[in-house]
Structure 1
Amino acid sequence: MRKVNLIFGTVYGNAQFVAETLRDDIQATGREVQLFQSDALTDFIPPQDEVLLVVCSTTGQGDVPDEILPWFEMLKSQAPYLPNLKYGVIALGDSSYDTFCRAGIQFDELLTELGAHRVGLLLKVDACETMEPEVTAKAWLQIWNKQIDS
């Protein structure tokens, strides 16, 4: 089983709560998982023999949250080609804005540009439809977790 590196970008704490909930669910399957705090991401390049899961809120005009923006920019400017990396993205947003889930979409686009392969669908969680994003994310995770090793 591949290890999962779980990274979150949050504004008000929702993405962190979702990531912590998913960490617990991933561990319950017997899979190794590491939850990264933003200060531990300075030079982190996701290992290609492991899996990356990004949980990200959107802020401002579709921006990546400030706490995770330096890592996003570092990946954009310094990351090598990652053709063997498998990843997933859970994007949190509010569909009443034109920039709905834009930060998560930006991560998906960046990882694709780096040659990585998304496992499953990009999950967009709408704050207008659900007050418990972790419930939606947990349902998505059950499918995604089975697809990682295939």
Structure 2
Amino acid sequence: MASITLFVGSVFGNAENLASEVKNDIEQQGHSAVIAEAPTLEHVNSADNLLFISSTTGQGDIPENLLPLVLQMQMQSQFPMLTGKTVGVVALGDSSYGDTFCGAGRQIDVLVQELNATVTEPRLDVDACEHFEPYEAVAPWLQKWLQHL
């Protein structure tokens, strides 16, 4: 079975709650999962499979608890290639914010593709205007993503 590391960007706890639900679902299906607390490049480098779950803050920005890792991943000197790693991205947002909708997830998605990750399922954008509980939208996507591991 697969080993998955979850990287969570959260402002008010919604993404953290979703990550806990996703982790439980992953484990119930026989895989191992861990949520990277205070994520670092070491977490990225040691992960077999990576799943990013991030809300969006400000003007389409990455939440402060995940931003340092993303900035490190963008630095040329540390540029951790993700070749051979399967990566998924779940973006949480509110479509009423227009162009900044799911901005953090879009940025993460572009970055992991630049780092040569294997992306088996397209980024999932979850609209808070449509899904009060994001897990209902994430569960079917997660099943498809897990099938590729």
Question: Same fold by TM-score, threshold 0.5 exceeded?
Answer: yes
Deviation string 1:74-126 (CA, Å, 9 cap, x unpaired) is 11111332221110000000111121101001111001111112121210000
Contact 1:15/1:56, CA 8 A, preserved across alignment: yes
Structure 1 unpaired stretches of 5+: none
Aligned-pair Cα RMSD in Å: 1.4
Contact 2:124/2:141, CA 8 A, preserved across alignment: yes
Q: 1:17 aligns to what SS in structure 2?
A: helix
CA distance in structure 2 between the aligned counterparts of 1:67 and 1:49, rounded to whole angstroms: 19
Alignment of 1:1-150 (within 5 A): 1-37=1-37, 39=38, 41-47=39-45, 50-77=48-75, 78-97=78-97, 98-148=99-149
Opposite residue 58 of structure 2, the aligned amino acid is G
CA distance in structure 2 between the aligned counterparts of 1:109 and 1:48, rounded to whole angstroms: 21
Contact 1:45/1:75, CA 8 A, preserved across alignment: no
- Matched residue count: 146
- Percent identity between matched residues is 41
Structure 2 unpaired stretches of 5+: none
Contact 1:48/1:86, CA 8 A, preserved across alignment: no
Runs in 1 of length 4+ with deviation above 3 angstroms?
A: none
Deviation string 1:41-93 (CA, Å, 9 cap, x unpaired) is 23335247711000000000000001110011011111332221110000000
TM-score by length of 1: 0.91
